[in-house]
Structure 1
Amino acid sequence: MAPPGNLAPIDWQRPWLADLAALGRRAAALVEQGACVAEALNALVAAGHAPDPGVRFVPQQALPPGLAYEQFVYEQCSVPTRDNLHDFFNGLAWLHWPLAKGRLNAWQHDAIARAGVGAVRGPLRDAITLLDENGALLCAPAPLHRALAARQWRQAFVELRPLWRQARLLPFGHALLEKLVAPRKSITAHVLQAPDAIATIAGADAWLAQGLGAEALAAKPFNPVPVLGVPGWWAGNESPCFYDDPLVFRPPRGA
């Protein structure tokens, strides 16, 4: 087990953790008291602090050698969990996005059952991995989606900045959240366009589980968005010059 306090670098005041902070703080406190990450996550469910996500968290050693992780999760309803930031955020994602995580896991399992693990994941499994690790959902007015899809960064973040008051960027990927523990300007998410009427993370979970089909996801309908450009997420982006970095806010393809 990792030493107590290994979750200490997390700053729960960060805006991207707003929806996760209540449960996250509780789980982190249990880890600081000596629980492993799996025990801490299970304790939240057992105490009624979190709804039952349909899985339990188990130590990584429970995963048999040679068995695909996704197959084990689906068949055993158990998530192998290491004592690190990456798996801690994966556990929090299961607690907040249980419908979507379950649907993605079922698609992974079915794809493995049909074709095996293989050296190449295939379009659907590849898209699932991108979303699961580095994805986010953007609920926003249509002009923002269009500007981001076209990589018109100044239009999206400067000219249309008032529209961000009507928008919510919801991090989904646990690797994305892990990277944001040490924020840097280049961190970029694979962003899915979601209905702007979604008002809660539970609503976003239901939409992602029921409103996005496997065929649509396999087409990788993501927009790359440097997340520290989101208004309110980083003090530096109050200056329009923040978006003039072509190594981060890259021009449209072919420009």
Structure 2
Amino acid sequence: MVTELGPDPNSGGPTQALVQSPIAAIDWSAPWLSPWREVGQPVAQRVQAGQAQPAALNMTVLARWPATQEAPVEFVPQDALPPGMAYESYIFETKQCPTREGLHDFFNGLVWLHFPLTKRRLNQLHVAQIARTGIAPVRGPARDALTLFDENAALLRAPDALWNALQAKEWGRVFGDLRGLWAESCLVLFGHALLEKLVFPRKPITAHVYRAYPATDSIIDMDAWVAASLSDEVLATKPFAHLPVLGVPGWWAGNEAQGFYDDASVFRQARLACL
């Protein structure tokens, strides 16, 4: 059961957090935040008004999953995680997500709210890996791939020509000859660390792009398709293309400038295969 925690920000509670919270730095007009704005901005306002992040997120859980429906997760303070217990195992066993204050866990919470099926699938795969290998200081390739997806993935529905050029890092085609195909595509940033980094946009920020084939461009359909597609075998193939996200047309005014895509330190060429 999800419970509300902390003060109601509309009750005249503390307002000091309005100035101090890093959540205040989020620019909700950023194009990449369009899928997150409707839900995320009210949560952010509650946090800025002084409510703890787990409580602010749980208010949305209560609204989206009423008592007649089982919520995918409840957000709890970080100290609810027992010492020595793996974070992913705790979520799997309790359906509670330990949540710290700050941008990183704020965006993790938003991803749970929008992509509950995918987040649950990632959690299941993590726990299965822990059962096989235990909790080791260094993660193996499978858990590395899972973490990479969770932290830094972007989901893309795109025509074949654009996807193939992106995989090959043919930047002149991706952002030049094929630029118009971006209007026919749907790109959603999924990784919560990726979303966190973009609060302070920098040209080198790069996503690991996973190609999706949802029935429509709705988040619900995207979530269902991605969750059903994920497995250790799929992730072991490293099914990602690299995308400097501020190069996406319409996402950053600077990419309209001549020479923006000529920066080889950001728009790197594909490595030649060894013979």
Q: Is the 8 A contact 1:4 1:34 kept in 2?
A: yes
Distance verdict in 2 for CA 1:22–1:78, change over 3 Å: same
How far is 1:254 from its partner? 2.5
| 1:1-255 correspondence runs (5 A) | 4-5=17-18, 6=21, 7-48=23-64, 53-195=71-213, 198-254=216-272
How far is 1:53 from its partner? 4.3
**Alpha-carbon separation, structure 2, partners of 1:138 and 1:146:** 12
**Alpha-carbon separation, structure 2, partners of 1:49 and 1:30:** 19
Q: Deviations over 1:38-80 (max 9, x none)?
A: 0000011223489864110000000111111111111111100
Q: Is the 8 A contact 2:121 2:230 kept in 1?
A: no
**Alpha-carbon separation, structure 1, partners of 2:126 and 2:230:** 15
Q: Is the 8 A contact 2:65 2:71 kept in 1?
A: no
Q: Which amino acid aligns with 1:185?
A: K
State TM-score, norm by structure 1: 0.95
**Alpha-carbon separation, structure 2, partners of 1:128 and 1:106:** 10
Distance verdict in 2 for CA 1:196–1:79, change over 3 Å: closer
State TM-score, norm by structure 2: 0.88
Distance verdict in 2 for CA 1:48–1:194, change over 3 Å: closer
How far is 1:160 from its partner? 0.4
Q: Is the 8 A contact 2:115 2:223 kept in 1?
A: yes
Q: Which amino acid aligns with 1:37?
A: Q
Distance verdict in 2 for CA 1:84–1:166, change over 3 Å: same
Question: Which shows bigger deviation, 198-207 or 64-73?
Answer: 198-207
Q: Which amino acid aligns with 1:36?
A: A
How far is 1:167 from its partner? 0.8
Q: Which amino acid aligns with 1:16?
A: W
Q: Which amino acid aligns with 2:167?
A: A
Q: Which runs of 5+ in 1 are unaligned?
A: none
Q: Which runs of 5+ in 2 are unaligned?
A: 1-5, 7-15
Instruction: Work out the number of aligned pairs and report it.
Output: 254
Q: Which amino acid aligns with 1:213?
A: S
**Alpha-carbon separation, structure 1, partners of 2:149 and 2:169:** 20
Q: Which has the larger radius of gyration?
A: 2
**Alpha-carbon separation, structure 1, partners of 2:150 and 2:216:** 20
Question: Which shows bigger deviation, 187-196 or 97-106?
Answer: 187-196
Q: Is the 8 A contact 1:167 1:196 kept in 2?
A: no
Distance verdict in 2 for CA 1:171–1:124, change over 3 Å: same
Distance verdict in 2 for CA 1:52–1:135, change over 3 Å: farther
Q: Share of identical aligned residues, percent?
A: 54
Q: Is the 8 A contact 2:157 2:211 kept in 1?
A: yes
RMSD: 1.8
**Alpha-carbon separation, structure 2, partners of 1:87 and 1:13:** 21
Distance verdict in 2 for CA 1:103–1:116, change over 3 Å: same
Q: Is the 8 A contact 2:156 2:209 kept in 1?
A: yes
